């Protein structure tokens, strides 16, 4: 009988510890999946709220800060009202600063920082483009120095190249090799846990196909050489 | 048997958490009874929580018990904390979330009045609006003439607000008062601002009441905030048909210095023991949504002012002041090639003058002022530098605009004071210009 209790007590305790941990992981994962399913403001809002609750309890983890910032950055892209866009960007910057305090050498946070600069550029690009494009590029370079195996670096580089006018060395054709590299790195990438950043592969593939489609329209011969 | 007891303990523990539940339901609203969508509702210290829906409603069930603090937070609003007693029943709540004070940082020209702390501002023009304005000829301070409350003094240039002269509007750049924001004055040639419109990202222009901080200002305050500290060394070159302006910014670790190659000394040294008043109405409308790629604003101001200062013999409207001022600006964005076409129309009712041949104590008025201008801006890159090429035509219709009359000091042999009208430098003006921004390295 006593023996049975001795087994039961640790079981109960371990169940409690495990459940709180898996609760955070599974709760976050559920909200991340929601944003993958539909690119909607509401879903990112839920992810932001869920991460906010987690980061207030798990104060020393960078991941909840990361996802709250990630959610606000995406909301800044979706939102049309400029002052709201700006509000989301400012909040995301605060969270990124906090995440850096916890883990200063995390390549993923640099990628997120770069993404935030792109979001800022979407607010009056004529003015903010020259201001933030060099910063975005340098954040991606920092991310690459820390972890060249992070595929999101090449996905964002490809996307940026694709949207840069051909005149300045950008364009869809120039983006193809970068997306190829991104897809290659994605295929070898394994996230460290179910909540570590893992986004971007589908988008990279979609944009890669978009670039390829335009190239084949323009130069049908050029493509036949390539496998 | 032992096994059975243990299993039942587990079951009871699990069941108890299912059976004993408190439900919180309610609505989150703004102070104006609008729903707050997507607010985060949770118990302090836990990760349990929910979101408010499109109607601001929420439903939160929990197996927590006892005294807890429910937190409601939402970006853009102040966070609200509500003590709740969780005892397995249903609690209904209506929570009002006050809005955060909006602080706009990156935006560019604000017009209106100051409220306490200068926190609430309405956005009117941005940097690009200033640079591509057909009325201003690329001059930051002239562009503000398309905002309400200002007078159009085409012969003198600069900013005249509500019966005040240029030097009665205080110009403040990054918190420092600028004694002479304008170029040196030559007779009948409008002065220009000495600062490139591309230099500023935050501009506050107030024609209304302003805080005691700006006590030196007589008629208005213009606050310009430069682009924080510039990211790198910058140099700018403006070329226009009648001259050139070079400005540069040198950046150090914590500071930067901007300089431009124009020396001006405007120190007005007349005594001013006069009196005066100004009253008026301003209207401003801007719409950048209704027309695709189009953006327009209309500004009208009525100003009635009388002053007795300088060498005035009696109290009358200042000579630069028109009672009715209207300006309409329309800009159209073209994506290929990357350009703006903009057109502006300015109308001002006649300006006062004294004709000594009629009476020394009676005000005459010139005919009204009309100016339709058109400009084209093209953005490109030259040698990897951001470049703006622009062409502007002022007063396309060739309206005869008279700013006033200048009379001889003494009458001639027939007892008549000879006069000549004060006219714009040219009836129709053309400007072709190039703006190149030099930076440390190419940005693309």
* A16 found inside a domain: no
Considering the domain architecture, whether residues B297 and B341 belong to the same structural domain is answered as: yes
Considering the domain architecture, whether residues A49 and A134 belong to the same structural domain is answered as: yes
Considering the domain architecture, whether residues B270 and B332 belong to the same structural domain is answered as: yes
Considering the domain architecture, whether residues A218 and A157 belong to the same structural domain is answered as: yes
Considering the domain architecture, whether residues B119 and B63 belong to the same structural domain is answered as: no
CB neighbour list of residue A71: distance below 8 Å, 6 or more residues apart: A35, A44, A45, A47, A48, A51
Which of A49, A54, A83 is facing B51, going by the closest CB pair?
Answer: A49
Considering the domain architecture, whether residues B130 and B80 belong to the same structural domain is answered as: no
Considering the domain architecture, whether residues A52 and A64 belong to the same structural domain is answered as: yes
**Is the Cβ of B12 closer than 8 Å to some Cβ of chain A?**
no
* A13 found inside a domain: no
Considering the domain architecture, whether residues A112 and A198 belong to the same structural domain is answered as: no
Eight-state DSSP code of residue B118: G
Domain final residue, candidates B97, B118, B150: B97
**Is the Cβ of A83 closer than 8 Å to some Cβ of chain B?**
yes
Domain CATH for A108: 1.25.40.10
pLDDT for res B441: 36
**Is the Cβ of A167 closer than 8 Å to some Cβ of chain B?**
yes
- Count of domains in chain A? 2
H or E element in which residue A160 lies = helix A151-163
| Report field, pTM of the whole predicted structure over 0.80 | no
- Count of domains in chain B? 2
Domain final residue, candidates B49, B69, B97: B97
Please report residues of A whose CB lies closer than 8 A to that of B379: 126
The better pLDDT of the pair B195, A128 is held by A128
Considering the domain architecture, whether residues A179 and A217 belong to the same structural domain is answered as: yes
Please report residues of A whose CB lies closer than 8 A to that of B126: 124, 127
Segments forming the whole domain that contains residue B90 = 20-97
Is the Cβ pair A170, B76 closer than 8 Å?
Answer: no
pLDDT for res B444: 29
Considering the domain architecture, whether residues A116 and A165 belong to the same structural domain is answered as: no
Considering the domain architecture, whether residues A136 and A68 belong to the same structural domain is answered as: yes
Considering the domain architecture, whether residues B67 and B164 belong to the same structural domain is answered as: no
Q: Collect the ranges in chain B with pLDDT lower than 50.
A: 15-17, 103-123, 208-217, 227-249, 251-269, 271, 439-444
* A36 found inside a domain: yes
* B28 found inside a domain: yes
ipTM for the complex shown: 0.82
Domain CATH for B28: 2.60.40.10
B22-30: strand order across its sheet:
B57-62, B22-30, B90-97
Is the Cβ pair B75, A91 closer than 8 Å?
Answer: yes
**pLDDT, tens digit, 9 for 90 and up, residues B26-61:** 999 988 888 999 999 999 989 889 999 999 999 998
**pLDDT, tens digit, 9 for 90 and up, residues A8-32:** 554 444 444 444 455 688 889 999 9
Say how far apart CA B389 and CA B403 lie, in whole Å: 31
* B15 found inside a domain: no
B258: number of Cβ within 10 Å: 19
The better pLDDT of the pair A208, B224 is held by A208
Considering the domain architecture, whether residues A38 and A133 belong to the same structural domain is answered as: yes
pLDDT for res B309: 73
Say how far apart CA A54 and CA A32 lie, in whole Å: 13
Segments forming the whole domain that contains residue A189 = 148-227
**pLDDT, tens digit, 9 for 90 and up, residues A158-197:** 999 998 877 777 889 999 999 999 999 999 999 999 999 9
* A44 found inside a domain: yes
Say what percent of chain A tops pLDDT 70: 86
Beta strand B200-206 with B109-112 is parallel
Paired with B43 in beta bridges are B70
Considering the domain architecture, whether residues A35 and A90 belong to the same structural domain is answered as: yes
Is the Cβ pair A169, B444 closer than 8 Å?
Answer: yes
pLDDT for res B414: 83
pLDDT for res B239: 43
Domain final residue, candidates A110, A145, A180: A145
């Amino acid at each position: 009988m006593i023996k049975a209790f001795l087994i039961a007590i640790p079981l109960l305790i371990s169940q409690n510890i495990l459940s709180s941990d898996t609760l955070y992981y599974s709760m976050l994962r559920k909200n991340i999946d929601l944003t993958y399913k539909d690119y909607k403001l509401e879903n990112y809002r839920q992810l932001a709220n869920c991460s906010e609750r987690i980061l207030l309890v798990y104060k020393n983890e960078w991941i909840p800060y990361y996802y709250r910032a990630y959610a606000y950055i995406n909301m800044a892209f979706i939102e049309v009202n400029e002052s709201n866009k700006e509000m989301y960007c400012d909040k995301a910057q605060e969270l990124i600063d906090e995440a850096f305090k916890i883990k200063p050498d995390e390549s993923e946070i640099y990628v997120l920082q770069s993404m935030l600069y792109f979001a800022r550029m979407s607010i009056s690009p004529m003015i903010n483009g020259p201001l933030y494009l060099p910063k975005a590029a340098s954040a991606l370079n920092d991310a690459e120095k820390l972890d060249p195996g992070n595929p999101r670096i090449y996905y964002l580089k490809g996307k940026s190249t694709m949207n840069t006018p051909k005149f300045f060395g950008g364009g869809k054709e120039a983006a193809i090799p970068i997306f190829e590299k991104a897809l290659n790195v994605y295929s070898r990438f394994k996230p460290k846990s179910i909540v570590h950043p893992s986004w971007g592969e589908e988008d990279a593939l979609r944009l890669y196909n978009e670039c390829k489609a335009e190239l084949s329209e323009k130069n049908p011969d050029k493509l036949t050489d390539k496998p | 048997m032992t096994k059975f007891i243990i299993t039942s303990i587990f079951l009871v523990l699990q069941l108890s958490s299912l059976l004993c539940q408190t439900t919180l339901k309610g609505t989150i609203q703004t102070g104006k009874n609008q729903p707050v969508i997507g607010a985060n509702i949770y118990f302090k210290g836990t990760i349990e929580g929910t979101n408010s829906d499109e109607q601001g409603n929420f439903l939160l069930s929990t197996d927590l018990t006892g005294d807890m603090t429910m937190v409601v937070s939402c970006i853009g609003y102040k966070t609200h904390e509500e003590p709740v007693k969780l005892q397995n029943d249903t609690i209904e709540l209506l929570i009002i979330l006050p809005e955060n004070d909006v602080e706009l940082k990156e935006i560019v020209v604000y017009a209106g009045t100051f409220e306490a702390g200068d926190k609430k501002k309405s956005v009117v023009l941005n940097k690009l609006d200033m640079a591509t304005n057909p009325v201003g000829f690329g001059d930051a301070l002239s562009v503000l003439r398309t905002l309400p409350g200002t007078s159009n003094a085409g012969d003198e240039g600069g900013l005249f607000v509500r019966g005040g002269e240029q030097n009665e509007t205080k110009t403040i750049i990054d918190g420092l008062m600028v004694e002479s924001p304008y170029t040196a004055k030559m007779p009948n040639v409008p002065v220009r601002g000495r600062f490139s419109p591309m230099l500023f990202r935050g501009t506050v222009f107030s024609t209304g009441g302003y805080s005691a901080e700006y006590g030196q200002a007589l008629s208005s305050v213009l606050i310009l905030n430069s682009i924080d500290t510039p990211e790198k060394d910058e140099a700018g070159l403006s070329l226009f048909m009648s001259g050139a302006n070079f400005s540069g910014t040198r950046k150090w670790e914590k500071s930067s210095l901007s300089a431009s190659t124009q020396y001006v000394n405007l120190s007005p040294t007349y005594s001013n023991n006069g009196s005066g008043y100004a009253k008026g109405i301003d209207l401003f409308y801007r719409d950048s949504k209704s027309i695709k790629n189009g953006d327009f604003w209309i500004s009208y101001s009525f100003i009635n002012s009388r002053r007795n200062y300088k060498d005035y013999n009696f109290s009358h409207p200042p000579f630069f002041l028109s009672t009715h001022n209207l300006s309409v600006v329309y800009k159209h964005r073209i994506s290929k090639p990357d350009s703006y076409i903009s057109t502006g129309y300015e109308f001002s009712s006649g300006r006062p003058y004294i004709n000594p041949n009629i009476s020394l104590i009676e005000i005459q008025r010139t005919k009204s002022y009309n100016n339709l201008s058109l400009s084209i801006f093209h953005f490109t890159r030259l040698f990897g530098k951001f470049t703006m090429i622009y062409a502007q035509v002022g007063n396309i219709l060739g309206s005869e605009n008279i700013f006033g009359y200048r009379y001889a000091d003494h009458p001639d042999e027939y007892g008549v004071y000879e006069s000549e009208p004060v006219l714009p430098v040219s009836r129709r003006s053309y400007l072709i210009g190039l703006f190149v921004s030099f930076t440390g390295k190419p940005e693309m």
